[in-house]
Structure 1
Amino acid sequence: MPASTTPPPSPLHTWWSQRPPAAGAAVMATGIISVALHQTGYETLSRIALALASAAWLALAGDFIARLVLDRPRWLKDAATPAALTAVAATTVLGTGFTALGWETLAEALLALAALLWPGLLITVARHWRRHMPGAVFLSCVATQGLAVLGATLAAAEKTAWLAHTALALFWMGLALYVLAMPRFDLRQLAHGAGDHWVAGGALAISALAGSKLLAADSPGLYLWNDDDEGVLRTVTLAVLALDLVWYAVLLLAEFAWPRTRYDVCRWATVFPMGMTAAATLSVAAVEDVPWLETLGEVLLWIAVAAWLAVTAGAVRAYAAPSTLAPPENSTPPEPPEPDVTSTTRR
C-alpha cells in the first residue's frame, strides 16, 4: 500500500493563516483614513472607509474567537507576538471612527472591549520583548495610545471628566512604553523591514493625536487642566508631532534608498502610520489653529490614501497568485533561547 502523503495547503488556507496580523493592521489603516477623511470634510469617502474597516474588524474578531475556542495552543502562541496588540489598536481606531457619526454607545462598547483585552495582551507581549525587534515592538505604545485617543474623544463628547483623566494617564504611559521599546528596535529594519518598521513613527503619530484630543476635551464646564497642566500637555504634543514628522521623512527616504516593491501583509502597517500622521497633523492644526499644519495634514492624507490603494491592489494580486502567499521570513535571526515572536519581516 503506498504511503499516505499530506496534501499541500490550499491558497485559501494559506491566506487565512495570515489573516489575523493582516486584518488587524488593515483595520487600523482603513479606520484612521476614515477618521482623517472626516476631519477634512470628505464624509462619503469617510463612511465607505469606515464600513470597510468594520467588515475587516468583524473578520478579525471572528478569527480571534475561533482560535480561542478551537485552537487554544495556537491562540496562546499568537497572543505572545507583538501583532496581537493590533486587536486592541484596531478596536480603538474603529471606535474613534464611530464617534464621528455620533454613535457614542457603540464606541463605548468598543472602548470597554479594548480595555478588557489590553492589560493581558500587553503583559504577555512585553514579556517576550528582546533585542533587535522589528517595528511591531512599538505596538505596545500604539495600543495604549489608542485607548487614550478613544477615551479622550468620548470624554469630550459626553463631558466626562474621569474618562479624560484616565486617558491622560494612558497618554503618559504610552509615551513611557515608546521609550522602553526604542532600544529594542532594530534600526536595520529601515533598510530591510517588510513594512512594519513604519510603526516606529506611527506610535508617535497616535501619541500626538491623543495629546490633541486631550487638549480638545477641555471646556469651561469640565475644567480638566489648569494653565500649567495645559502648557505641559501642549508642549509635549507639539514635540511628539515634530518627532513624528521627522520619522516620517526618514522612513520615506529609506523607502527610496532601499526600494521594497514586493507586496507583504506588513505593508498595512506602513499605511497606518501614514494615515495616523495625517490625522494627528490635522487634529493638532485644529486645536492650535495653525493653517499651514492643516494644509500639510491634507497632503499627507492623500499620500496615505494612495498608499492604501496600492497595498489593497497588492493584496488582491497576492490572493490571485498563491505563490506569493508564503509566510514572511524574519529578517533578523532569533536569539536562542528566546522564541521567534516577530516573524513579520522579509529579507
Structure 2
Amino acid sequence: MNPELRDIRSRFTRWVATLAPSVFSSVMATGIVGMGLVLSGFSALGQAFCILASFMFLGLLVVLMLRVVRYPSAVQIDMLNPAVGFGFFTVVAASNVLALALAVLNLPGAAVTALIFGSLIWLVITYAIPAGLVLHERPEPALTHANGSWFLWVVATQSVAGGLAHNTSLGSWTAMFSLAIWLLGCALYLLTATLVTVRMIRYPNRAETLSPTYWIFMGSTAISVLTGSQLLGLANRGEIPNWLQANIAFTTLALLAIGLWFIPMLLVFGFWRHIIHRHPLSYETSLWAIVFPLGMLAASCLSLGSIPDFSALFILGQFVIWVAVAAWVGTTALWVARIRYPA
C-alpha cells in the first residue's frame, strides 16, 4: 500500500476511535447560521449553509455508526464519563436543527424524518445519560467534572420542543406537547446552571478545562428563546390557550435577558484563558460551542423580532448573525489548519 494512503487510513482510524461525542456541534453551528442568514434576508447564502449542514450530518452519522460498531466499549466509556457524556446530545440537537434547515430547503418529508430521528434519540439518552451519571460508581463525584457541555441536555430538549412547534401539522397534540417539553427544558436549565455554577465555585478552574463549552450557558437560553417565540406564534394563532401567552412571553424575555448578560462574562473567561494564562488558540471541537450560541442568539432575536411588540430585537439579530458567520469562518480556518498541519 502507498505510504501516503496508509498514513491517511491510519489517521482516519484513529479519528473514528477517538471521535468526540460532541462532534455534531459543527452541524448545529452550520445549520443555525444558515437559518439565521435566511431569517435576516440572505436566503441564497443561508441555503448554502443549510445544504452544507445536511452533508456534514450524514457524513458524521456514518462515522458515528462505524465507531459504535467497531469500538462499542469506547462509546460506552464516553457515555459514562461526566466530562464528555453530555456531548452525545449534539446528535439530537444537530438532527433537529437539520430538520429546520431542510424545511428551509423545501424538503418537508426529509425535515419530518430528521425531527423524528432526533426526538427518538432524545427520548433514549435523556434518561440513559443522567441515569448513568447517578448510578455508575466512580472514584470521585461526577460534579467535579461538570462543565458547559452539560447544557447540551437543555439544548437538545429545546430543539425537540422547537421542532414540534414548527410542525404542528403532525397533529393537534403537537402544540401543547411542544409547550410541555419547552417548560421541561427551562427547568433543566435551572438545574444544570445550579450544578455547573457550584462546580465552578467549589473546585479549581484551569485554562485547559475552562473550555469554550461554557458558551452553551448562553446558547441554551438562546434556543429556549427561539422556541418561546415559536410558541408565541402558536398562541397568536389559537393553537395554544390564550391565557398562557403572557407567561410564555415573560419566560422568553427573562431567558433572553439572562443570555445577553452572560456574553461579557464569557468574554472575560476567554480573556483569562488565552491572554492571562496564554492557553494556545488552536482548533478543538468545543470551539463550535461558540459559533452555535452566537448563531442561535441571532436566530432567536430575528424570530422574536418578527413579532410587532419585539421589533427592536430584529436589528440586534441582523448584527449578531454576521458575528456568528465570522466565528464560523474562524473556526473552520483553524480546523483546516489542524488537518494540514497535525500536531
Task: Give the TM-score band, short-chain normalised.
Answer: 0.7 to 0.9
Q: 1:271 aligns with which of 281, 291, 310?
A: 291
Unpaired runs of 5+ residues, structure 2, are: 1-6, 135-141
Q: Is the 8 A contact 1:190 1:251 kept in 2?
A: no
Structure 1 vs Structure 2 CA RMSD: 2.2
When residues 311 and 190 of structure 1 are mapped into structure 2, their CA distance, relative to the original with a 3 A threshold, is farther
TM-score by length of 1: 0.83
User: Residues 11 and 322 of structure 1 are in contact (CA less than 8 Å); yes or no, is this contact kept in structure 2?
Assistant: no
Counterpart selection for 2:195 from 184, 190, 207: 184
Residue 4 of structure 1: aligned partner: none
**C-alpha distance in 1 between matches for 2:54 and 2:287:** 19
TM-score (norm 2): 0.84
Q: 1:167 aligns with which of 159, 178, 181?
A: 178
More helix by share: 2
Greater mean alpha carbon deviation, residues 21-30 or residues 172-181: 21-30
Does residue 212 (structure 1) correspond to residue 255 (structure 2)? The answer is no
Q: Are residues 1:305 and 2:325 paired?
A: yes
Instruction: Tell me the amino acid that sits aligned with residue 40 of structure 2.
Output: T
Determine if contact 2:165/2:230 at 8 Å carries over to the other structure.
yes
Q: How far did residue 297 of structure 1 move?
A: 0.8
Following superposition, the deviation at residue 190 of structure 1 comes to: 9.5
Seen in structure 2, the aligned counterparts of structure 1 residues 286 and 15 have a Cα distance that, compared at 3 Å, is same
Alignment counterpart, residue 146 of structure 1, candidates 146, 152, 159: 159
Change (3 A) 1:242 1:288: farther
CA contact (8 A) 2:30 2:50 kept: yes
Q: Alpha-carbon deviation of 1:307? A: 0.4
Aligned length: 312
Q: Output the CA distance in 2 between the equivalents of 1:207 and 1:116.
A: 20
Map of 1:57 onto structure 2? 57
Amino acid at match of 1:243: I
Cα separation, 2, equivalents of 1:136 and 1:287: 31
| Structure 1 residues 225-283: Cα deviation after superposition (integer angstroms, max 9, x where no partner) | 33320110111111111111111232123323432523222101111111111111111
Question: What percent identity do the matched residue pairs reach?
Answer: 30
Structure 1: distance between partners of 2:216 and 2:261? 13
CA deviations on 1:146-197 (whole Å, 9 max, x unpaired) are 0011110112xx3843111111111011111111111221437696522111
Task: Give the Cα separation in 2 of the matches to 1:103 and 1:146.
Answer: 19
Give 2:214's aligned residue: 197
Q: How much does 1:139 deviate?
A: 0.8
Task: Name the residue aligned to 2:93.
Answer: 89
Q: Which amino acid aligns with 2:160?
A: L
- Measure the CA separation in 2 of the matches of 1:70 and 1:121: 20
1:292 aligns with 2:305: no
Determine whether 1:250 maps to 2:265.
yes
Residue 214 of structure 1: how far off its partner (Å): 1.1
Q: 1:289 to 1:14 in 2, by over 3 A?
A: farther
For residue 290 of structure 1, report the CA deviation from its aligned partner.
2.9
Q: List gaps (5 residues or longer) in structure 1.
A: 1-6, 324-347
- Asked if the contact 2:22/2:88 (under 8 Å) is kept, the reply is no
